[in-house]
Amino acid sequence: MSMTTDMLPEDIILEILARVPDAPALLRCAATCKRWRALVANPLFLRRRWPDLAYYLLGFFAPKNLNGGDEGPTPRSAVAAGHRLLRSFVPDAAGLPADIVYPLTSQDGLLLLRLFNYRPKQTGGVVLAVRNLLAGTCVVLPPFKWGIESVGHAVLTSADCRASFKVLTIVAGKTDYELHTFVAGQPSWSAPTKCLSRAAPKFLIMHTDAVVCQGAAHWLFCESSSFHVLHVDAETGRVSSTKLTSPISSGPPVDGLDLKVQRGRRRLATTTDGKLLSLCLYDAALKQVEIWTQPAPAAGHGQDWPRTGVIDLKPILDLEQPQGAVPYVWQLRRRCGNGKLLIMLAYRHAYIANLQTGTMQEVDNMSSSGYITGDVVGVEIDWTTFFMARLASARKLITI
């Protein structure tokens, strides 16, 4: 008598499913029957199958000289390779110019976009939109009328606050940096909250997209010879700041600041477990990225962050470059998972660096796709949530 899969014990089927080589193959297995789908859909099974994959890098969004945006694949991505114009995400934008949409930041499957010349007669201000990449929905926010120089952005999910989403925007006013907040379901933006002074001492923001962890959004500012971290509580909106007593520059002033690194080449990231902040500084002379990590627990103002690691960039910077290319680090970007950093080079290559191990992996197709012409926004999401969404889309294939 022949044996069918229906006769196999559940623990045997789980062992078989755990040995399926990749996510697309496992999705096909789950579409075979309801029993297999139920086993695969168990979060405990998914964590067993991918124990080290808490967050997943779906791909990248990037403007091309404000001529549109693309979604690109990542190494070993389960998302189909290819490009898609960002304007296709926004209602009523299909017939508008390609440069209408600009990616700002992302968080856990939510993508924050800025819309240019979108319904100009109706809006009369800056317009932002939030795209849910899993649900396929897009919410266009009320016009933003408090100024056009927005220098910092964050989009928070229901895991960070009680609303389905919340948008934080830092605006450079005449005398102060101001925080503006929009909560999903509300008719308008909140009244502004003062953050830091733009007068002496002069604070400059180092990266526009916030790092979200510890129940707050964090931005890095610098002033004279010191760094400051601006914190915004995700639930209450309370604003605070921490001055770092280290690192302190030992080199000559750069960009008018007594710091040995340049704007765009210093930023915050998170540790591998996502619980602490890391400060990443690019040293052009030594061709390396220095990692300085927040002590635990946070001690308030005047924290001394010790140097915890170095990423050597000489192997990739000393490679043979295209004719006329200048081998230097163009930008440090965080959005590629906890404890990881996207390092973008001027000659159209990018690498994902592991802050704990110092290892690097080149990002496929970045050089050929022309991504590195503007701010790149990586899209990362909780792996279990992403896989379950893909599994739900495959449910219609189940016939048994």
- Report pLDDT digits (tens) over 166-199: 999 998 888 889 999 999 999 999 999 998 887 7
Rounded to whole angstroms, the Cα distance separating 24 from 391 reads: 10
Is residue 73 pLDDT above 70, yes or no?
Answer: no
Instruction: Looking at the structure, tell me whether residues 20 and 127 fall in a common domain.
Output: no
Residue 235 and residue 215 in contact, taking contact as beta carbons nearer than 8 Å? yes
Answer whether residue 138 is part of any domain. yes
Answer whether residue 188 is part of any domain. yes
Instruction: Looking at the structure, tell me whether residues 40 and 86 fall in a common domain.
Output: no
Rounded to whole angstroms, the Cα distance separating 313 from 27 reads: 38
What is the bridge-based pairing of β-strands 193-197 and 204-205?
unpaired
Return the CA Rg of the chain: 22
Instruction: Looking at the structure, tell me whether residues 240 and 336 fall in a common domain.
Output: yes
Answer whether residue 1 is part of any domain. no
Instruction: Looking at the structure, tell me whether residues 37 and 83 fall in a common domain.
Output: no
Task: Give the contacts of 50 (CB within 8 A, at least 6 positions apart).
Answer: 383
Instruction: Looking at the structure, tell me whether residues 44 and 64 fall in a common domain.
Output: no
Answer whether residue 362 is part of any domain. yes
* Structure-model confidence comparison of residues 261 and 27, the more confident one: 27
* Residue 34 phi, psi dihedral angles, 5° rounding: -65, -35
Which two tokens mark 306? 């010790």
Instruction: Looking at the structure, tell me whether residues 37 and 117 fall in a common domain.
Output: no
Query: Which tens digit of pLDDT belongs to each residue from 341-378?
Result: 878 776 667 788 888 888 888 876 555 444 454 567 87
Rounded to whole angstroms, the Cα distance separating 207 from 52 reads: 28
Instruction: Looking at the structure, tell me whether residues 31 and 163 fall in a common domain.
Output: no
Instruction: Looking at the structure, tell me whether residues 252 and 369 fall in a common domain.
Output: yes
DSSP string, 220-235: EEEETTEEEEEEEETT
Indicate the number of domains in the chain. 2
Domain harbouring 84, CATH code: 2.120.10.30
Answer whether residue 66 is part of any domain. yes
End-to-end CA separation in angstroms for the chain = 23
Is residue 244 pLDDT above 50, yes or no?
Answer: yes
Domain boundary residue, one of 51, 69, 85: 51
Instruction: Looking at the structure, tell me whether residues 39 and 77 fall in a common domain.
Output: no
Answer whether residue 3 is part of any domain. no
Instruction: Looking at the structure, tell me whether residues 141 and 290 fall in a common domain.
Output: yes
Prediction pTM value:
0.79
Instruction: Looking at the structure, tell me whether residues 253 and 372 fall in a common domain.
Output: yes
Instruction: Place 327 in a pLDDT band, splitting at 50, 70 and 90.
Output: low
Answer whether residue 2 is part of any domain. no
Domain carrying residue 387: 52-395
Query: Which tens digit of pLDDT belongs to each residue from 96-151?
Result: 555 578 888 888 889 998 887 665 555 556 789 999 888 888 898 988 765 557 88
Residue 115 and residue 128 in contact, taking contact as beta carbons nearer than 8 Å? yes
Instruction: Looking at the structure, tell me whether residues 19 and 159 fall in a common domain.
Output: no
Task: Give the contacts of 25 (CB within 8 A, at least 6 positions apart).
Answer: none
Answer whether residue 289 is part of any domain. yes
Instruction: Place 92 in a pLDDT band, splitting at 50, 70 and 90.
Output: low
